[in-house]
């Protein structure tokens, strides 16, 4: 008979967090958790090539907005970075954030900024089947799982991806 351990609960919380983020925010292409620096890496796909000047402006907007949000909340940020990579006719915009200070509100702010500034280029996995109550439940679960991840130190890396309208989570 398998035994339930604290490690299983940590993995479960991490999986639930990644699934909830991918379900709630269809703009996120992939998300991963890195235990070595207790951080999240959110990657957004953009159709077409993002020029370096467009990236510089977008990075400044994101970093300034995240800093302002945390200043208003009275929270000191440990880690934040934005990078991009282009391949063929796709741009991958990646945001790195520490789990200790990221909040549900900050994630919603990031998504709103991307929707506003890159709406026509942001690749989104539309899910019309989600009701408002389902979205609210996902938001509550996100906040709960973020809090749980802050309290525990996980030794397992996780990656969540979208594939054919499904959300998949794997150990790294």
Flag whether the pTM goes above 0.85.
Answer: yes
Going from the C-alpha of 134 to that of each of 1, 88, 141, the distances in angstroms are 35, 36, 11
Residue 120 covered by a domain: yes
pLDDT of residue 130: 61
pLDDT tens by residue, the chain, 172 residues = 344 344 455 567 889 899 999 988 999 999 999 989 999 999 999 999 999 999 999 999 999 999 999 999 999 988 999 999 999 999 999 999 999 999 999 999 999 999 999 989 999 987 666 666 777 788 888 988 998 888 877 767 899 998 877 889 998 7
Residue 1 in domain: no
Strand order through the sheet with 158-163: 80-87, 90-98, 39-47, 28-34, 158-163, 166-171
What's the domain count of the chain?
A: 1
Tokens describing residue 169: 């989570």
pLDDT at 152: 77
Q: What is the pLDDT of residue 119?
A: 87
- Within-domain flag for 99: yes
What is the reported pLDDT for 131?
Answer: 65
CA distance linking residue 38 with residue 10, whole number of Å: 13
Containing structural domain, residue 43: 6-171
Question: Quick check: is 27 in a domain?
Answer: yes
């Amino acid at each position: 008979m398998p035994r339930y351990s604290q490690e299983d609960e940590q993995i479960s919380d991490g999986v639930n967090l990644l699934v909830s983020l991918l379900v709630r925010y269809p703009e996120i292409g992939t998300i991963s958790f890195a235990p070595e620096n207790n951080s999240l890496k959110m990657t957004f796909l953009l159709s077409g090539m993002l020029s370096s000047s467009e990236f510089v402006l977008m990075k400044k907007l994101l970093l300034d907005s995240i800093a302002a949000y945390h200043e208003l909340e009275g929270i000191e940020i440990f880690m934040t970075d934005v990078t991009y990579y282009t391949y063929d006719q796709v741009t991958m915009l990646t945001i790195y954030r520490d789990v200790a200070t990221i909040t549900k509100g900050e994630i919603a702010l990031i998504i709103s900024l991307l929707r506003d500034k890159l709406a026509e280029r942001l690749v989104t996995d539309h899910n019309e089947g989600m009701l408002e109550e389902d979205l609210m439940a996902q938001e509550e679960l996100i906040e709960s799982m973020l809090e749980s991840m802050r309290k525990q130190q996980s030794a397992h890396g996780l990656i969540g991806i979208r594939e054919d309208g499904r959300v998949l989570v794997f150990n790294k």
